[in-house]
Amino acid sequence: MVKICCIGAGYVGGPTMAVIALKCPNVQVTVVDIAEQRINAWNSDTLPIYEPGLDDVVKKCRGKNLFFSTQVEKNIADSDIIFVSVNTPTKTQGLGAGKAADLTYWESAARMIADVSKSDKIVVEKSTVPVKTAEAIERILTHNKKGINFTILSNPEFLAEGTAIQDLYNPDRVLIGGRETPDGQKAINALRDVYANWVPKERILCTNLWSAELSKLAANVSHSIGTDSRIGPKFLNASVGFGGSCFQKDILNLVYICECNGLPEVANYWKQVVKVNDYQKSRFVNRVVSSMFNTVSSKKIAILGFAFKKDTGDTREAPAIDVCKGLLGDKARLSIYDPQVTEDQILKDLSMKKFDKDHPSHLQPASPTSIKQVSIVSDAYQAVKDSHGICILTEWDEFKKLDYQKVFDSMQKPAFIFDGRNIVDAHQLRKIGFIVYCIGKPLDPWLKDMPSVA
Ligand code: UDX
Ligand code: ADP
């Protein structure tokens, strides 16, 4: 029986390993993590992440061929294939701060593998990492352990949060990069055999290490600007801003790579993508403030949605964080509701500095128990009650189906709605009496007449 160990029980490691366990009954999969709380949650009825369909998959396999454990060393030593799916946040200090990926977690995982391995291992790079990381990791492994054969593969993950299980069931492609040596090819075949349990052979693309790493970065970046005609119209929906753990980080990585390779003009080009995304968020805040008579001081504003997109509880780089901070800067009172994000997480996000939050929780500052001017509620109707305005910041389906007449009746007048995801029926809402702003759509006469919109 092939034994797989995955280091990192997060948004990538958890769902990916659960699906591998489900589709490969002959493979034993153990997901390990240093965060005890997270592992406990994976072993409980309340999983640490929300992802449609994930509960079912975990229930079917857990205890059979899927295990979650904090025994990192033992499980690494026992396995044949090790996936590394630890976090790779953007560096906050030192060389490349604010751009380059922080590979501390990756490096410590690699050193741990070197320390505890007693047999040959295939080590699979799963997190999105800067190009050429595989080579660096290869060096750490081979220099720290003589006599054991480590073969490195790059197998970038293309799943998107919120649709992770479907993406894993039916991937557009599985990319496996490895060395063009006999050992490299053998390792590629071993991993290909795992995926071949459910993925058609022609969708499993095998290439070299560098190409696999670069493809992932480039695919994410081209998604983010949505200008590649091959991607099609699915990714051209205007929003209050893109978020998530990948896009900004990958663009900043690219900026760093360009700068290191003497291409400052190209670096500047990519920097602009992040700048425009930041501008989009501050523009939204300005629109809210200027529409409401240029002040939101002490006004209650309902925030519907905090996750970076629907069907996930993940808030990494969520545009809601910057929008809420902007409104709080103008002294608004916020009443926040999201179906999946916890109160603790929201308070943490609103009190934390940029980039801190992608680090493991034990390294993060403690979350405050409350923030003046912010209340977090468990229902959309409670959030909007007595508010002057509503900001929709995540496209959750339940916000499309609210009884907007009831919402309107419970609000202060004039009642404003700022739809940052274009999900409401603006025509219908105007009939009820709302003043409506939708991203990228023509303005209500009311809003047009308001001064000083950025
Ligand atoms: C992304 C990539 O799509 C995936 O291939 C990669 O493996 C990881 O990064 P993810 O971060 O889960 O996935 O979310 P994605 O669906 O790509 O959305 C990213 C952000 O862009 C979200 O904040 C989303 O709301 C926003 N977005 C997306 C838009 O604003 N408009 C769109 O049309 C699409
Ligand atoms: P992603 O979205 O890439 O899956 P997450 O932050 O959700 O990122 O998950 C990464 C996980 O990796 C975290 O739960 C973190 O505790 C874990 N991790 C980081 N370093 C190590 C390590 N050396 N050993 C085990 N787990 C680690």
* Residue-range domain boundaries for the chain: 2-225, 275-449
CA of 111 to the centre of ligand 1 (A): 32
Ligand 2 pocket check for 86: Cβ under 6 Å: yes
Shortest-distance atom of ligand 2 to CA 13? 4
Task: Mean pLDDT check: name the lowest of 86-95, 103-112, 115-124, 202-211.
Answer: 86-95
> How would you classify the pairing of strands 374-376 and 333-337?
parallel
Fold entry, domain 2-225: Rossmann fold (3.40.50)
What's 65-106 look like in SS3? CEEEECCHHHHHHHCCEEEECCCCCECCCCCCCCCCECCHHH
Shortest-distance atom of ligand 1 to CA 161? 12
Measured from the alpha carbon of residue 439, the closest ligand is 1
CA of 373 to the centre of ligand 1 (A): 30
User: Does residue 244 come out as left (phi exceeding 0), alpha (psi in the -120 to 50 range) or beta?
Assistant: left
Residue 375 reports pLDDT greater than 80? yes
pLDDT of residue 228: 45
Q: In one letter, which amino acid is 126?
A: K
Q: 134: which residues sit within 8 A by CB, 6+ positions away?
A: 125, 152, 153, 154, 177, 209, 210, 213
Shortest-distance atom of ligand 1 to CA 157? 7
Measured from the alpha carbon of residue 109, the closest ligand is 2
Measured from the alpha carbon of residue 42, the closest ligand is 2
Residue 154 reports pLDDT greater than 90? yes
CA of 432 to the centre of ligand 1 (A): 33
Residue of 143 and 2 predicted with greater confidence: 2
**Residue of 54, 246, 423 to mutate, ligand 1, most atoms within 8 A of C-beta:** 246
CA of 16 to the centre of ligand 2 (A): 14
Task: Mean pLDDT check: name the lowest of 61-70, 114-123, 255-264, 436-445.
Answer: 436-445
Grade residue 225 by pLDDT with cuts at 50, 70 and 90.
very low
CA of 104 to the centre of ligand 1 (A): 25
Residue with CA nearest ligand 2 atom 26: 33
CATH topology identical between 2-225 and 275-449: yes
Q: CA geometry: angle at 141 spanning 129 and 136, to 5°?
A: 35
The CA-atom distances, in angstroms, between 136 and each of 103, 107, 125, 210, 376 are: 10, 9, 12, 12, 44
Rounded CA-CA distance 433/405 in Å is 9
Measured from the alpha carbon of residue 116, the closest ligand is 2
First to last CA, the chain: 61
CA of 340 to the centre of ligand 1 (A): 18
What's 222-285 look like in SS3? HHHHCCCCCCCHHHCCCCCCCCCCCHHHHHHHHHHHHHHCCCHHHHHHHHHHHHHHHHHHHHHH
CA of 42 to the centre of ligand 2 (A): 13
pLDDT of residue 358: 61
Rounded CA-CA distance 406/422 in Å is 20
Q: What is the mean pLDDT of residues 125-143?
A: 82
Residue with CA nearest ligand 2 atom 3: 87
Ligand 2 pocket check for 151: Cβ under 6 Å: no
Residue of 186 and 261 predicted with greater confidence: 186
Measured from the alpha carbon of residue 161, the closest ligand is 1
Task: Mean pLDDT check: name the lowest of 165-179, 386-400, 405-419.
Answer: 165-179
Q: Are 338 and 306 in contact (CB under 8 A)?
A: yes
Token couple for 44 = 């409980």
Strand partners, 62: 66
Ligand 2 pocket check for 105: Cβ under 6 Å: yes
Residue 229 reports pLDDT greater than 60? no
Residue of 448 and 5 predicted with greater confidence: 5
Residue 226 reports pLDDT greater than 50? no
Q: What is the mean pLDDT of residues 363-392?
A: 91
Residue with CA nearest ligand 1 atom 5: 158
Percent of the chain with pLDDT over 70: 91
Phi, psi for residue 339 in degrees, rounded to 5:
-65, -20
**Residue of 47, 71, 84, 87 to mutate, ligand 2, most atoms within 8 A of C-beta:** 87
Residue 363 reports pLDDT greater than 70? no
CA of 332 to the centre of ligand 2 (A): 35
The binding-site residues of ligand 1, defined as CB within 6 angstroms of any ligand atom, are: 157-161, 220, 223, 235-237, 239, 242-244, 246-247, 308-309
User: What residues are annotated to the active site?
Assistant: 246
Fold entry, domain 275-449: Rossmann fold (3.40.50)
Q: Are 182 and 154 in contact (CB under 8 A)?
A: no
Assign 347 to helix, strand or coil: helix
Token couple for 146 = 């003589």
**Residue of 74, 86, 107 to mutate, ligand 2, most atoms within 8 A of C-beta:** 86
